[in-house]
Amino acid sequence: MPRHDAITLLQRKTSRRSDDGTRDIALGLLIFSMGVALDLGRAPVMMAVFIPMIVAALQVHLVWPRAGYARESRAFVAQAARLFGMSFLILLALGAAIDTSGAPRSAYADAEAFTRLVTQAAILALPALLAWTAFRHGLVRYYVYAVAIVTAFALGSLAGNEARAWALALFALAVVAIGVLRLSRFMAAHPPVSEGDLAP
Amino acid sequence: MPPEAGSPDTVLWEDLDRVVHEPARLVILVQLAFVEEADFLYLLRQTGLTKGNLSSHLSRLEDAGYVTIVKGFVGRLPRTRLSLTPSGRAAYDRYRDRLAKLLADPSD
């Protein structure tokens, strides 16, 4: 009974919180910038600075005054980081092994090709993280996101890199749009509340 | 195999922590167990309790040493930050273990 209750409450908590759409916006921006970086062969450095800033601003000014503030537990963040890190390293090693087996090693002499390899592994590691989050919190749309990323890559191997870039960009923009829609619904449903009116 | 009555592993209903066992306080502890810290408004939204009810249960948990309550301000707005203490987390874990043992199917 307590285990069931705890899981139910956790799902309720997460699904309510994810209703604000900021995670979808963050994910969409992340995929978009990584997709662009992959296409250009540049390291997606700017995204590491701007995306957290955008999401933090949305949360501070729009979400927390309405739904309250909560900081993720360290154990949860560490678990997610471990899963993403391991998936990333495995995919990186796999990508390097596959590419170097078919092409001469000099293909990686330039930084651009290496950056592409790293970015590709990072994007493909996202579905593992999304599937884990979906399973843990019972969020079905995260499974759809995970499948869509893999599909975009499969499309790339069939129809070329340009098709992959377009598929990733369109998918990323769709995820951002879903996030914005959720955020606007959330804001309409939850007016801002001052704790001064609530706390004893 | 369930432990024999009277053995050191035996768990009795009376062994359950009454502070944790109350449904509203259990809901609060569950919410706080999954986050590092949260504010009053967050708990109010997640638990569905009224503000008076939530306040009184938080006071009870604070008295038991299970929850830390820090009152502060963000700009001009007040914000009450809440988190589980180590003993609160231990009490919550102990409660879950004991209840699971009590409800365990003897045929398992």
Query: Residues of A numbered 44-83 whose beta carbons fall under 8 angstroms of chain B's beta carbons: which are they?
Result: 64, 67-74, 76
Can you state the angle between helices B40-47 and A2-18, rounded to 10 degrees?
A: 120
- φ and ψ at B107, to 5 degrees? -80, -10
**Are the C-beta atoms of A173 and A50 separated by less than 8 Å?**
no
pTM score, two decimals? 0.76
Residues of chain B contacting residue A69, judged by C-beta atoms under 8 Å apart: 38-39, 41-42, 79, 81
ipTM of the complex: 0.72
Give the angle A17-A18-A23 at the CA atoms, nearest 5°.
125
**pLDDT number for residue A175:** 94
Q: What is the pLDDT of residues B67-102, one digit of tens each?
A: 999 998 877 778 899 999 999 999 998 998 888 888
Domain ranges of chain B: 13-102
What are the structure tokens assigned to A23, written together?
């995670």
- pLDDT recorded at residue B60: 95
Average pLDDT value for residue range A90-102: 71
Q: What is the pLDDT of residues A5-17, one digit of tens each?
A: 555 555 555 555 5
Percent of chain A with pLDDT over 70: 78
Residues of B in contact with A200 (CB under 8 A): 51-52, 55
Residue B69 contacts A where some CB pair is shorter than 8 Å: no
Pick the CATH number of B13-102 from 3.90.1150.10, 1.10.10.10, 3.40.50.2300, 2.30.110.10: 1.10.10.10
Residue A54: which domain range?
A: 20-66+79-190
B103 interaction partners in chain A (CB closer than 8 Å): 1
Total domains present in chain A: 1
Q: Is A1 inside any structural domain?
A: no
- Please give, rounded to a whole number of angstroms, the shortest distance from the CA of A81 to a CA of chain B: 16
Distances, alpha carbon A152 to alpha carbons A59, A97, A133, A162, in Å: 30, 21, 20, 11
Is the Cβ of B20 closer than 8 Å to some Cβ of chain A?
Answer: no
Residue B15 has pLDDT above 60, yes or no: yes
* Three-class DSSP category at B65: coil
List, for residues A137-188, the tens digit of each pLDDT value: 777 888 999 999 988 888 877 887 778 888 888 999 999 999 999 999 999 9
Whether residue A27 contacts residue A175, with contact meaning beta carbons closer than 8 Å, is answered with: yes
